[in-house]
Amino acid sequence: MSVSIKEKQYIRNSRGSMAGVLLSLLIIMGLVLPSCSVYTPEERNLKPEAVSGQYSLYPDTGRQAPGRWWEGFQSPELNRLIELGLKNNLNIQLARARIKQARATLEKVGGTTGPKITAGLGTSRTRRPNMDDVDAFSIDLSASYELDMWGRVDTLIEAERLGYQATRADLETAAMSIAASIAETWLDIITTRQEIRILMAQVKNNETLLELLNLRFENGMADILDVLQQREVLASSRAKIPMLEAREQALINSLKLLLGEPVGSGVTVRQASLPPLSRFPALGIPADLLANRPDIRSAGLNLKSADWDIAAARANRLPAMTLSGSYGYVSNDIGTLIDKWVFSLGASLIGTIYDGGAKSAEVRRLEAVVEEGLAGYKQTVFKAIIEVENSILNEKKQAEYIDLLEQQLVSARQALTEAERQYTNGLQGFIPVITEIPKVQTLEKQIITEKSGLLKYRIALFRALGGSWTRDWVPPENESPEKKPGV
C-alpha cells in the first residue's frame, strides 16, 4: 500500500509533536517533583532515655559549662603552653586539614545540583583510497542537567553537610584532648623535678648520717654493720635519681611534641611547685553533656548523616531524568564553519529494571550502619557520664588518701626522730633508725605524686564535662550551601 507525500509529511509532524509533548511533560515533572523530596528521614531524638537526671555523687551545681578551665590553676606558664599547643599541635593541624577536605567534598556534591556545561573544539581528517582527504572541523557547546525528581541529590548534600559538621566537632574533640594532655604533662614534669629535689635532699641527709656513723665507728661507738647498712640506704637513694632525670627529659620531649615543636626547640618549664587546686566546676546535669561534649556531637551528627545516606540510597532506586542540549558548528571548510550550525535538545529517563538486588542491598547495608551508629552514640553518651562520675569519685577519694598519707608521714617522722634519739643515747641499736628512714623518704615522694594525681583528676573532670570553649579553635565556617526546599 502506497503512502502519499502529504501523508508522510503528516506522520512526520505528528511524531515531532508527540516528541515535543513528551519532552515538555518530562521537563514539567522534573521541575515540579523536586519541590517535595520523596525520601526524608524522620527527625531523630538524640537524647537516650536512660540518661539520669543528675550525677550520683553531687547535686546539680549549676548549668554553666566550664570555659578555659586551665586558667583556674593560676599559672601564666600553663596558659602560655596550652595556647601554643592549641595553635601548633600537629593533631590539631591534621583535624583542620580534614575540615578542609570535608568542606571541599560538600561543595563537590553541591555542584551536582547545577547543570554541567562543556565546550569543545575539534578537527579530523578522513583518508579514503583513490579519493582526496576530507577534513572536518567542529565547535560545540553542550549542557546536561539531572532533574532531582526524588530528592536524591538533596539528601546526598544534607548527608555531606552533617558529615562536615561532625568533622568540625572532631577538631573540637582534639582541642579538648590536647589541652588536657599538655596540662597533665606539665604537671608530670613539675612532679618529677620535685621528686628529684626530695631525693637529693635525702641523699644529703643520708651522707651526713653516714659521716656520723663513720665517726662513731672510729670511736668504737658504732658497729660496722650500722655503717654498711647506711651505705646501702645512701646508694639506694642515689640510684633513683638517674631514672627520674631520664623521665624528666622524656616528659619534656613529649611536651614539645604536644606543642608541635621539634626536639631541639627551646621549650622550657620553669615553674617549680604544683599549682593550687582550681575551683570545683559547675556540673550541670548529665544531659548537658550532649551539647558540651564535642565527641558526642560528632557521633550524633554522623548518625544523622547516615540517616540521610539511607534516604539517598532509597531515592537512587527510582528512575533518574537528565535533560541535555547542544549547540555547535560542523563543516568541512573552516571558512564556512559558522554557517553550518546544529542544535539539539533532549531528555532521558533512565531506571534500573534488574540489578540483582544491588541497590536494595545497599539500603540494607546503610540501615545496618545506622544501627551501628546508634549503638555507638549511646555508648559515647554513657561513657561520657561515667567519665564524669569517675572523675568526681576519684578526686574525692584522692583527697582523703592524701590526708591519710600526710598523717602517716607525721607519724613516720616522729618515729624516726625517736629512733635516732634512742640510738644516740645508746638505748637502741641502729636497726630502728635504718627501718624508719626509707619509710619517711618513700612517703615524702609519694605525697608529691599523689598531689599531682589530685590535680590530674580535676583536669579529667574538666575534660569529661567538655564545654563551649573548644569552638573558639575551629576555623570560621564559610557560608553553607542553601538547602533546597525538598530537604
CATH code for the domain in which residue 93 is found: 1.20.1600.10
123 backbone dihedrals φ, ψ, rounded to 5°: -145, 150
Encoded amino acid at 297, one letter: R
Q: Which helix (H) or strand (E) holds 138?
A: strand 134-147
Q: What are the grid coordinates assigned to 208, written together?
A: 651526713
Assess if residue 14 is contained within a domain: yes
pLDDT band of 13, cuts 50, 70, 90? very low
Which range, 156-165, 166-175, 215-224, is most confident? 166-175
Q: Is the pLDDT of residue 57 over 80?
A: no
Measured between alpha carbons, how far is residue 405 from residues 183, 207, 336, 342, 440 in Å?
25, 26, 101, 94, 11
Say if CB 298 and CB 174 are below 8 A apart.
no
Q: What are the grid coordinates assigned to 128, written together?
A: 579514503
**What pTM was computed for the model?**
0.81
Assess if residue 127 is contained within a domain: no
**Whole-number percent of the chain with pLDDT over 90:** 34
The residue to which cell 575534660 is assigned: 463
Assess if residue 443 is contained within a domain: yes
The residue to which cell 613516720 is assigned: 412
Q: Which residues contact 164 (CB under 8 A, 6 or more apart)?
A: 99, 102, 103, 105, 106
In angstroms, the CA 235 to CA 71 distance is 42
Closest CA to 138 of 126, 125, 123: 123
Q: Is 418 exposed, middle or buried (0-12, 13-18, 19+ CB in 10 A)?
A: middle
Assess if residue 140 is contained within a domain: no
Assess if residue 198 is contained within a domain: yes
Assess if residue 136 is contained within a domain: no
Assess if residue 414 is contained within a domain: yes
The structural domain count of the chain equals 1
**Whole-number percent of the chain with pLDDT over 70:** 78
Measured between alpha carbons, how far is residue 192 from residues 84, 189, 211 in Å?
23, 5, 29
Assess if residue 264 is contained within a domain: yes
Which range, 182-191, 278-287, 337-346, is most confident? 182-191
Q: What is the 3-state secondary structure (H, E, C) of 244-275?
A: HHHHHHHHHHHHHHHCCCCCCCCCCCCCCCCC
Q: Which helix (H) or strand (E) holds 329?
A: strand 320-331
pLDDT tens by residue, 395-432: 999 999 999 999 999 999 999 999 888 888 878 888 88
pLDDT score of 18: 46
* Residue 220 domain boundaries: 10-115+149-318+358-473
pLDDT tens by residue, 359-404: 788 788 888 988 888 899 999 999 999 999 999 999 999 999 999 9
Q: Is the pLDDT of residue 1 over 50?
A: no
In the sheet that 341-350 helps form, which strands lie side by side, from edge to edge? 116-126, 134-147, 320-331, 341-350
The residue to which cell 531528555 is assigned: 347
pLDDT score of 339: 56
